[in-house]
Amino acid sequence: MEFNENFVYGCSAIGAGLAVIAGIGPGVGQGIAAGHGASAVGRNPGAKGDIMSTMLLGQAVAETTGLYGLLVAMLLMFVKPFV
Amino acid sequence: MVHGLVEYSFFGHTVYLTTTHVSILMVMLILMVFSVIAGNGFKKALREEKFAPTNGFMNGVELLTEFLMNTVKGGMGKSAPVFFNYIATLFCFILLSNISGLLGLRPPTADYGVTLPLALITFTIIHYSEVRFSKPKQLWADKCSPLPPWLPIWLPINIISDIAVPISLSLRLFANVLSGTVMMALIYGLLGWIATGWPAALHVYFDLFSGAIQTYVFCMLTMTYISSARGDN
């Protein structure tokens, strides 16, 4: 079977779509972090500033894996390494 | 996307001055003008011996400086005075770069060639501090950390995790800003005249909120890594 350029384009697009499924993990993780942050503020409203900054830092670190997926999708769509 | 504006030859390679260079120069120009004006304001206040902000602009400068000082003090503890200048410069540069999408520029941080050197500077400082502030024996024990020092089978994994630090640090900033830029470009490109007015709300999220958070995270992580390498907690 012969693979022409359009076939590779199509497969790259499918791969890009599959790669952004990586966004599920960070979504769940950030939600858990935000929920625990909210309950921590509820228990100790005085420490709101510290809780906020710690939560945002943790969420941004957790976001990295999702961004790797996004990066792979963007490379597949715009840089087209396999064509 | 990044466009090449001027083409020239560098040791036989064809290289380009791109839109990133132009926007980085604009960002630097804005920062320089800002710092000259702020510095003159401080000098004038010292000369006239007025130890309270004299106008709205100096009030804002003082607010920014105080915020940065508190952040650095909270993140680094006793080595804060050494690194305050570096972290504050980094903060101002990355913040202005991230929100420069609002000024019509292509954000310089949406180019991997800008974020990787920033992370490599952090990497260099981390390992310089590690070598300087801990004895070689201690360093070796740290690198073999979960296992005893005479059994260095965990060493390669620790080295890989050291190398992953600048990569993840730079890719995080780069991918965040790039995703915002690409998303806005898609909205403006696909929707045409429908995209009038309301994308301002998206700009607030992608440029202002995301940019500020990522700036804070980059500076915070840099401070955490450096202060743990210097061994002050």
> Based on the structure, what is the number of domains in chain B?
1
Cα–Cα dist B214/B118, whole Å = 13
CA nearest to B181, candidates B15, B10, B19, B13: B19
Mean pLDDT on B88-100? 93
Cα–Cα dist B229/B233, whole Å = 10
Buried b (16+ CB within 10 A) or exposed e, A57-67: bbbbbbbbebb
A63/B176 touch (CB, cutoff 8 Å), yes or no: yes
> C-alpha distances in angstroms, B163 versus A20, B47, B87, B101, B219?
25, 49, 21, 31, 18
Domain that holds residue B185: 4-230
Convert the pLDDT of each residue in B179-199 to its tens digit: 888 888 888 888 888 888 888
Which of the residues A61, A67, A70 would you substitute to probe the B interface, choosing the one with the greatest number of B C-beta atoms within 10 Å?
A: A67
By the CB < 8 Å criterion, does B172 face chain A?
yes
Query: Please, are residues B20 and B111 in contact by the beta-carbon 8 Å criterion?
Result: yes
A56/B214 touch (CB, cutoff 8 Å), yes or no: no
**CB hemisphere CA count around B25 (13 angstroms):** 6
Question: How is residue B182 written in tokens?
Answer: 């690409």
Backbone angles phi, psi at B196, to 5 degrees: -120, 130
What pLDDT does B160 receive? Answer: 92
Residues 201-230 of B with CB under 8 A from A: 213-214, 216-217, 220-221
B217/A68 touch (CB, cutoff 8 Å), yes or no: no
Cα–Cα dist B45/B58, whole Å = 10
Q: Which of B176, B216, B220 sits opposite A67 (nearest CB)?
A: B176
Chain A residues in contact with B209 (beta carbon < 8 A): none
Convert the pLDDT of each residue in B24-62 to its tens digit: 999 999 999 999 999 898 888 888 877 777 788 888 888
Chain B residues in contact with A57 (beta carbon < 8 A): 216-217, 220-221
B217/A57 touch (CB, cutoff 8 Å), yes or no: yes
CATH topology of domain A23-77: F1FO ATP Synthase (1.20.20)
Chain A residues in contact with B220 (beta carbon < 8 A): 53, 57
The three-point CA angle B217-B223-B228 to 5° equals 125
- B149 has pLDDT over 90: no
Convert the pLDDT of each residue in A29-64 to its tens digit: 999 999 999 999 999 999 998 898 889 888 888 888
Chain B residues in contact with A60 (beta carbon < 8 A): 172, 213-214, 217
Which residues are within 8 A (CB) of A82 and not within 5 positions of it... i.e. 6 or more apart?
A8, A11, A12, A76
What pLDDT does B15 receive? Answer: 84
What pLDDT does B233 receive? Answer: 56
DSSP B207: I
Enumerate the domain spans of chain A: 23-77
